[in-house]
A and B are shown apart, each in its own frame.
Chain A
């Protein structure tokens, strides 16, 4: 094949999973790169991204969610929001796509050995977080980490992705799982209505004082409030979080109130991208290009950035 950085390699759709339905459906695609000689180049690390082509429509950028491998497998979760993602959602097993990457920096997972891990995902932001919790929960690596907590929220129950996986995670005894839906309080929900069965409301004024009945792990609230309900302990711990910019902002503030240092909080940022390699211009926040200097940053690094995201 070619060394031309703009020419994608061809891959075949091996599996399509509908993760969430409704108005903003999410599908996870497992692609396998056709040319075996290309496989080593696509040995990605948690946090990196790939650029997927629907030939004839164009390219879009996605966080890679697959476990690092040398078998040419790349998995991405795609929310249907635009032209390319709509076409990707029509793909069936056996169809062809193009892939460029992996690009960007990665989560320093090796530095985190021995730590307690807290994962916080809001909306489709769960997808890059998933690449890390899958790494940590993998049987090869699980022994290297302490307690693992996953906090995840979406707008409505049907917007929650990875439903099958969530069932499996809930059954594990080496993982603390918390979920929330915000539709009662979201722009589409009748604010203040009594909570639906199984998703009790929390004390929105002082989330930290919410009484948590034994075994209750799902609530109606926004993710930052759920963080205050769960109260993750900052001692010897790392947070990996991702979500819309506004969610990251409030999650970080909640963690700050719980005594977390910005150096302990890792996130991955997204901006519109075209080239993925620092040439096309648009993904910068100040002098930092998300595609080259990121997408993984600590909260401490984000605090130093110019307010442009």
Chain B
């Protein structure tokens, strides 16, 4: 049974959830972001500049401490996995969907214990992108399998219906929030339901951009060495922001850190847009120039993840479009490459000679 919560009661709810660490939307230095909710959460906001992915896959994370004997490090200590139960309040449904895509990657044959543990510890309450917020100008979730109110990856969905939020529990973790909240949640009336249905529909219709996935993997396959990639990457600065702000990008580097006599191994987000990402010890680099690296980003999202994990590696949040300093637009690139593939017809004619 659907519930509602009056906006005035959100403070009370968050107090009652005192066995969770609570993170949510707030404004920091003029930028919308996520942080520890010891102030009033924002309830009306377009999406954050940086996705809240780092609550599950931190930007930098210690994997384990190193054992020290005398002047040397001689082993690895038992890893301490994160055990704080936490609530991520007010994510956008696209960012929650991204976590469910990463679930597949981080359990692909080998289980990544850090990510999986954080997913177990974390509860996600997503806010549908309904009025008054509405989807942004570069949102295209509906064409990659999502929607402004998709429940995939979320434990609970909240949808603004005026003075209240219309509340639906998606998983057991979402039910647990309902129980913990107790009487702050009231039964939804059929009017509430109608408003929620209507605004969700409005939100969906407000998505103005679309990426056409049909035929895209085939077009990419046919154009790997097409000169188009050089052309499209010509203006790329190689800054990597498209990957660093992407909710589904998961590449990381691993390094040992030694400081004040202590040592540990940590992992840090990395990006396929950087030349050092792939360079061999010999100096040989399989992706030496930026068109190879931009190409890899597109192929990874729309071909490789599809083939290996049966999931589209893009949730349509639009951050890579909005934040790219030189206006590279993933939707345009996808549509261009389909056009290129259509013009050249088949693989042989589409591809330039390139030395292996």
Contact = CB atoms under 8 A, between A and B. Distances in A.
A245 B356 contact: yes
B113 interface: yes
Contact of B106 (A55, A270, A279): A279
Interface stretch (A2-10, A15-23, A164-172): A2-10
Contacts of B74: 10, 55, 96
Nearest to B309: A278
A279 B113 CA distance: 12
Contact of A277 (B67, B110, B287, B300): B110
A8 B66 contact: no
B56 interface: no
B231 interface: no
Nearest to B303: A287
B281 interface: yes
B286 interface: yes
Contacts of B303: 287
A96 B251 contact: no
Nearest to A123: B282
Interface stretch (A112-120, A142-150, A195-203, A301-309): A301-309
A306 B64 CA distance: 37
A281 B281 contact: no
Interface string B289-306: 000100010011001100
Interface in B255-293: 255-256, 258, 263, 265, 267, 270, 272, 277-282, 284, 286-287, 292
If over half of A's interface residues share one DSSP class (helix, strand or loop), that class is named, otherwise mixed; here it is loop
A280 B258 contact: no
B254 interface: yes
A59 interface: yes
Interface in B90-138: 105-106, 108-114
Interface in B58-81: 63-64, 66-67, 72-76, 78-79, 81
A96 B75 CA distance: 7
B45 interface: no
A281 B293 CA distance: 12
Nearest to B69: A96
Nearest to A60: B281
Most B-side CB within 10 Å, residue of A270, A271, A274, A279: A279
B263 A285 contact: no
Contacts of B296: 284
Contacts of A95: 72
A187 interface: no
B225 interface: yes
Contacts of B78: 2, 7
B256 A280 contact: no
A249 interface: yes
A284 B278 CA distance: 9
Nearest to B286: A309
Given A5-B111, A287-B308, A280 B251 contact: yes
B64 A280 contact: no
A56 interface: yes
B304 A284 contact: yes
A281 B250 contact: yes
Interface of A: 2-8, 10, 53, 55-60, 81-82, 85, 95-96, 98, 244-245, 249, 270-272, 274-275, 277-282, 284-287, 289, 292, 306-309
